[in-house]
Chain A
Amino acid sequence: MPRPALPQLYPLLRTLTLALVCLLAACNRAGDPVYRDQFFAFGTLIDLSLHGVDTPRAEQASRALEQAFTQMHSDWHAWQPGALQQANAGLAAHGQASVDPAMAALIQEANRLSTLSNGLFNPVIGRLVALWGFHNDEPPQGPPPAADRIRQLVEQAPASTDVRVDDGQIRSRNPAVRYDLGAFAKGHAIDRGIEQLEELGIQNAIINAGGDLRAIGRHGNRPWRIGIRDPRKPGVLASIELAGDESVFTSGDYERFYEHEGRRYHHIIDPRSGYPAGATVSATVIHPVAATADAAATALFVAGPDAWPAIARQMGVKYVMLVDREGRIHLNPAMQARLKFESEPEAIVMSEAL
């Protein structure tokens, strides 16, 4: 029997071994860590998650974001000295003010979203918000403001449609207009932050500013997983896997509030009544653009369990969850398909498709 040379076996075996070793080595990278950092800005804790970025670059990005956020917070502050305050002062005194391009863009966008929300997101009710005591870092103590004072401000009816922006100038025909971008500025800042990260070449990140977040990319080989907190008890109500570039924003009556004589007064004022919107406990919105999600969460909170679908449609929002006073969960079908509830909710109200 002929004996073929055995050495032709060895290259094959060597290759196989090498392949096997490489395979095992590759499998070992399953635990790619996520870089996490936190810093304070916008009156809250900003939590940054970066994936697939080496630590020096991640630290650099984090410092850059911190600076940017601090600057934006100061510029857009609703009641402390800054660019927005100056603009408000000009509007109050002369009915007009000059603004730099960044501020102009911010105000225009806020106005646009306000219109789309039929004014339920109202960025110019700064006086009303201040009246309720929410223009302070500390939560107010109460008691709530006098009813006729509230009525007075409501009747003045400042609306974003009172304001015109052109050529570096904003003009208002209603002296009651005072910009408070609390329901919008954080989202806008997060959008700028994400842009900055993308400019630095980072493609997988979450910027979470005090619970409201925008994510891009993925966590390695799986999507980012977000838990949505239950508005009334500790723990997570539902979770969702994000697809690509998405923001998750929730407006809740538990964020800034005070209690007086057994009643809770929170900071999401219904511009129509002048009182905190009463029918909703929390409103969660998922949308690519954080600024839109921010404004929409507020608008839908104010709209309440009955009116939210129409407003959501107008604002172009596709995924909404709202929890009402009775604890019922309102959703649209697309949102229900994506959410995974931790435990079977007691009552779900499904809207029609958005």
Chain B
Amino acid sequence: MQIQTTAEDQRIAWLAALAITIHILESAFPSPLPGIKPGLANVITIVVLVQFGWRSAAWVSLLRVLCGSLLLGTFLTPTFLLSLGGAVCSIAILWLACRLPGRGFGPVGFSLLAALAHMTGQFTIAWLLFIPHPALWRLFPVLLTAALLFGTVGGIIAGGISTRQRQCST
């Protein structure tokens, strides 16, 4: 039996593959602090969001986390839970952000929101499940600052890459 794929499926597939590749490459770099990653793969998510809509972006994001973890051997580990939590939060925020009336956010705004939500989601899971230590909260502003930086830069890159600037459609 042959499974019929639509053009959209194929699009998502290769975008996800791209995101996964970047994710894996990124995991090779040491991170200065736990949880701080440039989040370059997120650039892909934002590009997808702006060009193809939220649903595609959500797919790409989740596929990236899932396949990335399978390929890296971190599936169902704490790392995976953190990634997943972050991804879910950022997808949710992006959905909300898409609802903004008027011209709405551009790639920088989306990327920034996604990065902040991702970091917050990761932190919350880390705090609830792994390290409920009050001192962990001192790390939170630092992590958010990193998210601000990488989110902004990522957004600029995404803006440079995407050929269209249009508000996401679901």
**B-contacting residues of A (Cβ < 8 Å)?**
3-6, 8-9
Which residues of chain B have C-beta atoms less than 8 A from A5's C-beta? Answer: 102
Beta-carbon nearest neighbor of A8 in chain B: B101
C-alpha spacing A9/B100, complex, angstroms: 9
Rounded to whole Å, the gap between the CB of A180 and the closest CB of chain B is 50
C-alpha spacing A9/B102, complex, angstroms: 9
Q: Does B138 have its Cβ within 8 Å of any Cβ on chain A?
A: no
Which residues of chain A have C-beta atoms less than 8 A from B103's C-beta? Answer: 3, 6
C-alpha spacing A5/B102, complex, angstroms: 7
Beta-carbon nearest neighbor of B166 in chain A: A1
C-alpha spacing A261/B102, complex, angstroms: 94
**A-contacting residues of B (Cβ < 8 Å)?**
100-103
C-alpha spacing A6/B100, complex, angstroms: 10
Residue of B100, B101, B102, B103 contacting most chain A CB atoms (<10 Å): B102
C-alpha spacing A3/B102, complex, angstroms: 6
Which residues of chain B have C-beta atoms less than 8 A from A3's C-beta? Answer: 102-103
The 3 closest A-B pairs by CB, nearest first: A4-B102, A4-B101, A6-B102
Which residues of chain A have C-beta atoms less than 8 A from B100's C-beta? Answer: 9
A and B contact pairs by CB, cutoff 8 A, 11 listed: A3-B102, A3-B103, A4-B101, A4-B102, A5-B102, A6-B102, A6-B103, A8-B101, A9-B100, A9-B101, A9-B102
C-alpha spacing A4/B102, complex, angstroms: 5
Which residues of chain B have C-beta atoms less than 8 A from A4's C-beta? Answer: 101-102
Rounded to whole Å, the gap between the CB of A17 and the closest CB of chain B is 15
C-alpha spacing A8/B103, complex, angstroms: 13
Beta-carbon nearest neighbor of A7 in chain B: B102
Beta-carbon nearest neighbor of A9 in chain B: B102
Beta-carbon nearest neighbor of A6 in chain B: B102
Beta-carbon nearest neighbor of B101 in chain A: A4
C-alpha spacing A5/B28, complex, angstroms: 47
C-alpha spacing A108/B102, complex, angstroms: 81
C-alpha spacing A160/B100, complex, angstroms: 82
| 8 further interface pairs, Cβ-Cβ under 8 Å (given A3-B102, A4-B102, A9-B102) | A3-B103, A4-B101, A5-B102, A6-B102, A6-B103, A8-B101, A9-B100, A9-B101
C-alpha spacing A6/B104, complex, angstroms: 9
Beta-carbon nearest neighbor of B103 in chain A: A3
Rounded to whole Å, the gap between the CB of B99 and the closest CB of chain A is 12
Which residues of chain A have C-beta atoms less than 8 A from B102's C-beta? Answer: 3-6, 9
Which residues of chain A have C-beta atoms less than 8 A from B101's C-beta? Answer: 4, 8-9
